[in-house]
Amino acid sequence: MTVTKIFYHTDFENHIPTLNNPECANRTKNIMGLIQKENFPNIAIEEPEKIKKELIYAAHDKDFVDATINKFPENDEIYYLDQETPVSSGSKDATLRAAGAGIDAINSIIDGKSKNAFCIVRPPGHHACINKSMGFCVFNNVAIAAYYLINKYDYSNIAIVDFDVHHGNGTQDIFYNNKNVTYYSTHQYPLYPGTGDVDEVGCGNIFNIPLVSGTSSASYQKIFQEKIIEQLEIQQPDFLIISAGFDAHKDDPLANINLSNEDFVILTKKLKIIADKYCNGKILSMLEGGYDISALENAMIGHISGLQE
């Protein structure tokens, strides 16, 4: 049985808790209770530490990081880093713990204390570019984690699979010419942020799979198998990172892809087979989008179930 570590902290509930925003505190507020209710056989829950900002510099411009950290308000003000990215007085600790969760999870996996990990974090990260916060994302959590694998542990064949319904333009931006990381993304297109066309290929390390509005479950699963799983078989990565956005769910209000709860279980199991085959099971998964609360909660539970197989 696979030991799965769940990284979560109540600080994530203090990121813009009073704002009527799709990326709201209720997205993760009840998830620990739901996980415990499921009585998974091999789960360990940990609170992540706040990241040292020097580790953020690996993925982001230093001046941008320093300036952003100084913009977090200390009172009841809501400050907008861009038009879709508000922060509040609780956002600094939440942001630093969100990025720190990936670091703690990697250390746990490398040290053999867990086989895989799911970081249930806010704010999300995959829209954050080298020198810009955007799309609810302050810093790019998965990119910071991938650079930690490269710089700390000398990994050079990392796969990032992003099944969020929005293209992870920030992750693509950060790794566009980095042969150590291969980025795969399925996403509705056109849709925010407007990137992710098939001709965006980096140095041969970017695989964008744009989906038309209304894509069905059956079509998606066929595309995922042919465009991502088969390419992962060619890549044979030595570490797998998942940008786990659940907003391709049929009930999500911000997009129009028709996946069910079971689809996310299937995707996770497929990726776990790849990890077991090539990565000794090593998977770091980090929460991105998902904005229907019930759909998100059920999809996260399904994701954890898939990681446990």
pLDDT of residue 226: 98
Question: Could you tell me the residue range of the domain that residue 259 belongs to?
Answer: 4-308
Domain containing 17 — which CATH number? 3.40.800.20
| H helix intervals, the chain | 31-38, 53-56, 62-69, 91-110, 141-153, 169-175, 217-223, 230-235, 261-278, 293-308
Tens of pLDDT, residue by residue over 120-162, are 999 999 999 999 999 999 999 999 999 999 999 999 999 999 9
- The confidence band for 1, taking pLDDT boundaries of 50, 70 and 90, is low
Residue 18 sits at φ, ψ, to 5 deg, of: -100, 0
3-state secondary structure 58-93: CCCCHHHHHHHHCCCCCCCCCEEEECCEEECCCHHH
Strands 158-162 and 116-119: unpaired
- Is the confidence at residue 225, as pLDDT, over 70? yes
Model-wide pTM > 0.75: yes
Q: What's the rounded mean pLDDT across residues 95-109?
A: 98
Domain count for the chain, please give it. 1
- Is the confidence at residue 103, as pLDDT, over 90? yes
Comparing C-alpha atoms, which of 269, 256, 241 is closest to residue 119?
241
Let me know: does 134 contact 40? Beta carbons within 8 Å: no
Distance of CA 288 to the CA centre of its chain: 4
Cα–Cα distance list, 87 to 71, 99, 244 (Å): 9, 15, 22
Tokens standing for residue 220: 């998606």
Query: Above pLDDT 70, what percent of the chain?
Result: 100
Q: What's the rounded mean pLDDT across residues 9-27?
A: 97
- The confidence band for 65, taking pLDDT boundaries of 50, 70 and 90, is very high
- Evaluate the CA torsion angle 230, 232, 236, 242 in order and state its sign: negative
Find the catalytic residue in 15, 60, 127, 249.
127
> Is there a catalytic annotation at residue 127?
yes
Let me know: does 96 contact 87? Beta carbons within 8 Å: no
Tens of pLDDT, residue by residue over 20-61, are 999 999 999 999 999 999 999 999 999 999 999 999 999 999
Q: Which residues pair with 159 in a beta bridge?
A: 182, 240
